[in-house]
């Protein structure tokens, strides 16, 4: 039995499905169901007793403490967070509330539980904190990729709040001996990603013949990892990772945003030739840049490869094809998530973003 937080979000729900399929194990899924949490993602587990869903906040220490005592998990995997950079720019408060204070309260409840365990259970317990490469800041074109010893230099309120949570997690190991591990992963893509992030936004806009908004010159670079590979990496870290360590996770797949647009559109041209506007790439629209937009992220994943024998299985071309197919086959899911709250976000973020 493990406790997963944020398991109704994009990566969390992929992880919950992956965990139950790959290990057969049970889990408690604690999720506040913010705009980003969606139980539709877990519909296939509705009648599966291995998935125990609890709607609640990681900042609610008494709830977390109760769940820990009741279910006696051997590990906690903390996905719960506010995760979108643009939202953190327009409203940073929620990011501090959940990513900083929420993680603090979760750590406090975990510490109390962990200290009550018998020696052998105490030794094998793990608190795995899922973080991002954005804590390392922005790279120049010629800089080497981020390693685990790259100094933190977060640039957005999102990245700063994740950096703060990473520091708290580290301190709970250093001070109290809590057996933590932190993972810092690059940009994920794949099924169930909320269409506020670049790749699903491109897919859902393109099939409706709507503009594909590209911030600035479109030459910002991200490293992209298929979400199933991230889930496999987290399983490897839980099983074999060294306590107190951090592991960088990446896809060895740096792409500029324009390359991402071209790849997604080329796949859509093949798989969805009936769209209102063809070729899909003709919908590309350069819009006002994101303030403080990080230029480049890249990950050196040699530590996890060397120590835990993990490597990504999916390459970018195949992963994008799978992802586009998934969205085309789940247009009902897309309709459902593009409800009232989503429309409000699109107006807020893109309404005042004039074309350049």
Which residues are designated catalytic?
Answer: 133-134, 158
Residue 58 contact partner, candidates ligand TYD, ligand NAD, none, CB within 5 to 8 A by sort of partner = ligand NAD
The length of the chain, given as a count of residues = 356
The three-state secondary structure class of 348 is: helix
How is residue 342 written in tokens?
């989503």
Using CB under 6 A, list all residues that contact ligand NAD.
5-6, 8-12, 30-34, 36-37, 57-59, 79-81, 83, 98, 102, 130, 132, 162, 185, 187-188, 194
Judged by CB under 6 A, the number of residues near ligand TYD is 12
| 225 part of the interface to ligand TYD, by CB under 6 A | no
Q: Which residue has the tokens 């592991």?
A: 247
Q: Considering Cα of 173, then 178, then 183, then 188, what sign does the dihedral take? A: negative
Which residues, in sequence order, are CB contacts of 230 under 8 Å at separation 6+?
Answer: 11, 14, 15, 185, 188, 249
Least separation in angstroms between residue 102's CB and ligand TYD is 19
Which residue in the set 198, 228, 232, 233 belongs to the binding site for ligand TYD (CB under 6 A)? 198
- Cβ contact 126:78 at 8 Å: no
Maximal C-alpha separation, the chain: 63
Residue number with CB closer to ligand TYD (163 or 236): 163
Q: Which residue has the tokens 């099924």?
A: 191
Segment near ligand TYD (CB under 6 A); pick from 103-111, 210-218, 246-254, 301-309? 210-218
Residue number with CB closer to ligand NAD (6 or 319): 6
| 206 part of the interface to ligand TYD, by CB under 6 A | no
How is residue 268 written in tokens?
């859509």
Q: State the Cα angle at 133 between 253 and 104, rounded to 5°.
A: 150
Contact track, ligand TYD, 157-196, x by CB under 6 A: ------------------------------x---------
- Encode 46-61: b = buried (16+ Cβ within 10 Å), e = exposed: eeeeebbbbebbbbbb
**Termini Cα distance of the chain:** 52
| 8 part of the interface to ligand TYD, by CB under 6 A | no
Least separation in angstroms between residue 354's CB and ligand NAD is 27
Residue number with CB closer to ligand NAD (51 or 281): 51
Cis check for the bond before 279: say yes or no (omega within 30 of 0): yes
Considering only residues 249 through 268, tell me which ones interact with ligand TYD, judged by CB under 6 A: 257
Residue 222 contact partner, candidates ligand TYD, ligand NAD, none, CB within 5 to 8 A by sort of partner = ligand TYD
Least separation in angstroms between residue 93's CB and ligand TYD is 19
Instruction: Measure the CA–CA gap between 154 and 21, rounded to whole angstroms.
Output: 35
Least separation in angstroms between residue 156's CB and ligand TYD is 8
- Cβ contact 31:81 at 8 Å: no
Residue 135 contact partner, candidates ligand NAD, ligand TYD, none, CB within 5 to 8 A by sort of partner = none
Instruction: Measure the CA–CA gap between 99 and 290, rounded to whole angstroms.
Output: 21
Contact residues for ligand TYD, defined by CB under 6 A: 85, 187, 197-198, 201, 213-215, 220, 222, 257, 290
């Amino acid at each position: 039995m493990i406790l997963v937080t944020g398991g109704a979000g994009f990566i969390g729900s992929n992880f919950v499905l992956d965990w139950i399929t790959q290990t057969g194990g049970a889990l408690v899924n604690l999720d506040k169901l913010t705009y980003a949490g969606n139980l539709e993602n877990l519909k296939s587990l509705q009648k599966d007793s291995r998935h125990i869903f609890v709607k609640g906040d990681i900042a609610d220490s008494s709830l977390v403490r109760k769940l820990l005592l009741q279910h006696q998990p051997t590990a906690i995997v903390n996905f719960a967070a506010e995760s979108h950079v643009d939202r953190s720019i327009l409203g940073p408060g929620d990011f501090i509330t959940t990513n900083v204070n929420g993680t603090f309260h979760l750590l406090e409840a975990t510490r109390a539980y962990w200290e009550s365990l018998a020696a052998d259970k105490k030794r094998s317990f793990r608190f795995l904190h899922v973080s991002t490469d954005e804590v390392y800041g922005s790279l120049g074109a010629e800089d080497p990729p981020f390693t685990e010893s790259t100094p933190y230099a977060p640039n957005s309120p999102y990245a700063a709040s994740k950096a703060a949570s990473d520091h708290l997690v580290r301190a709970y190991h250093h001070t109290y001996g809590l057996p933590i591990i932190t993972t810092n992963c690059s940009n994920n893509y794949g099924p169930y990603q909320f269409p506020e992030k670049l790749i699903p936004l491109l897919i859902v806009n393109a099939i409706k013949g709507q503009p594909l908004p590209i911030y600035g010159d479109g030459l910002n670079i991200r490293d992209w990892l298929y979400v199933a590979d991230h889930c496999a990496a987290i399983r490897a870290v839980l099983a074999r990772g060294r306590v107190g360590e951090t592991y960088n996770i990446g896809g060895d797949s740096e792409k500029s945003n324009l390359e991402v647009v071209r790849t997604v559109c080329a796949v859509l041209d093949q798989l969805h030739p009936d769209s209102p506007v063809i070729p899909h790439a003709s919908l590309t629209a350069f819009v006002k840049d994101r303030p403080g937009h990080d230029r480049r992220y890249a990950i050196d994943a040699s530590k996890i490869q060397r120590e835990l024998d993990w490597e990504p299985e999916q390459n970018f071309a195949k992963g994008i094809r799978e992802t586009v197919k998934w969205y085309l086959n789940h247009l009902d899911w897309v309709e459902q998530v593009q409800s009232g709250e989503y429309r409000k976000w699109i107006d807020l973020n893109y309404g005042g973003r004039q074309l350049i």
